Chains A and B, each alone.
Chain A
Amino acid sequence: MTTTEATKPDTRTGTVLEVRGLGHSYGGPQIFEGLDFTVGKGEFVCIVGPSGVGKSTLLQCLTGLIRPSEGDILFEGKRVTEPPEGLAIVFQDYSRSLMPWLSVIDNVALPLRSAGVKKAERLAQARQALVEVGLSDVAQAYPWQLSGGMQQRVAIARALASNPRAIIMDEPFASVDAQTRADLEDLVLRVRDHLGLTVMLVTHDIDEAVYLADTVLALSGRPARVTAMLPIDLPKPRDQLSTKALPEFADLRAEVYTLIRNPATA
Chain B
Amino acid sequence: MVAPVRKGEQAVTVVRRLAWELWLPALLIALWAIFSATSTDPYFPPLSEILDKFADVWFFEGIRTEIWPSLQRLFVGFALACVAGVGLGLALGVMTRVDNAVRPIVEFLRATPGVAILPVMILLLGLGDSMKVAIIALVATWPILLNTIDGVRSVEPVLHQVTASYRITLADRIRFVILPAASPQIFAGARTALAISIVAMVVAEMVGTPGGIGYYILDAQRGFKITSMWAGIIALGILGYLLNKLFALVERRVLAWHAGMTAHNRGGK
What residues of chain A lie closer than 8 Å to B260, measured between beta carbons? 142, 144-145
**A113 vs B166: C-alpha distance in the bound complex, in angstroms?**
11
**B165: which of A65, A100, A101 is its contact (CB, 8 Å)?**
A65
CA distance A65 to B167 in the complex (A): 11
| Distance between A42 CB and nearest chain B CB, rounded to angstroms | 22
* CB <8 Å contact, A114 and B167: yes
Q: Give the CA-CA distance A103 to B183 in the complex, in Å.
A: 17
With A83-B164, A85-B167, A114-B166 known to touch, is A91 a contact of B158 (CB < 8 Å)?
Answer: yes
Indicate if A102 sits at the interface (CB-CB under 8 A).
yes
List A residues 54-80 near B (Cβ within 8 Å): 60, 63-65
Nearest Cβ on chain B to A58's Cβ, whole angstroms: 15
Q: Is the CB of B172 within 8 A of A88?
A: no
The answer to whether A110 touches B166 (Cβ under 8 A) is yes
Instruction: Tell me, in angstroms, the Cα distance from A83 to B164 when the chains sit together.
Output: 7
Which chain A residues (189-234) contact chain B, with CB distance < 8 Å?
Answer: none
In whole angstroms, how far apart are the Cα atoms of A140 and B265 in the complex?
19
Cβ B165 vs Cβ A83 within 8 A = yes
A254 CB within 8 Å of chain B: no
Number of interface residues of A (CB under 8 A): 28
A102 to B162, CA, bound (A): 14
- Is residue B112 contacting chain A, with contact meaning CB distance below 8 A? no
Measured in the bound complex, the distance between the Cα atoms of B159 and A65 in whole Å is: 12
A99 vs B161: C-alpha distance when bound (angstroms): 13
A-chain residues with CB within 8 Å of residue B183 when the two chains form the complex: 101
> Are A97 and B166 interface neighbours, CB within 8 A?
no
| A-contact 0/1 string along B123-162, CB 8 Å cutoff | 0000000000000000000000000000000001011011
The answer to whether residues A144 and B164 also contact, given A97-B158, A114-B172 and a CB cut-off of 8 A, is no
- In the complex, the answer to whether A114 meets B164 with C-beta atoms within 8 Å is no
- Confirm or deny: B43 has a beta carbon within 8 angstroms of a beta carbon on chain A: no
Query: Does B242 sit at the interface, judged by CB under 8 A?
Result: no
Residues of B near A263 (CB, < 8 A) are none
Q: What are 24 A-to-B residue pairs whose CB atoms are below 8 Å?
A: A60-B161, A64-B165, A85-B167, A91-B158, A93-B158, A96-B159, A97-B162, A99-B159, A99-B180, A99-B181, A100-B261, A101-B180, A102-B180, A110-B168, A110-B172, A110-B176, A111-B166, A111-B168, A114-B172, A142-B257, A144-B264, A144-B265, A145-B264, A162-B166
B contacts, CB < 8 Å to A: 156, 158-159, 161-162, 164-169, 172, 176-177, 180-181, 183, 257-258, 260-261, 264-265
A residues lining the B interface (CB < 8 Å): 60, 63-65, 82-83, 85, 88-89, 91, 93, 96-97, 99-102, 106, 110-111, 113-115, 142, 144-145, 158, 162
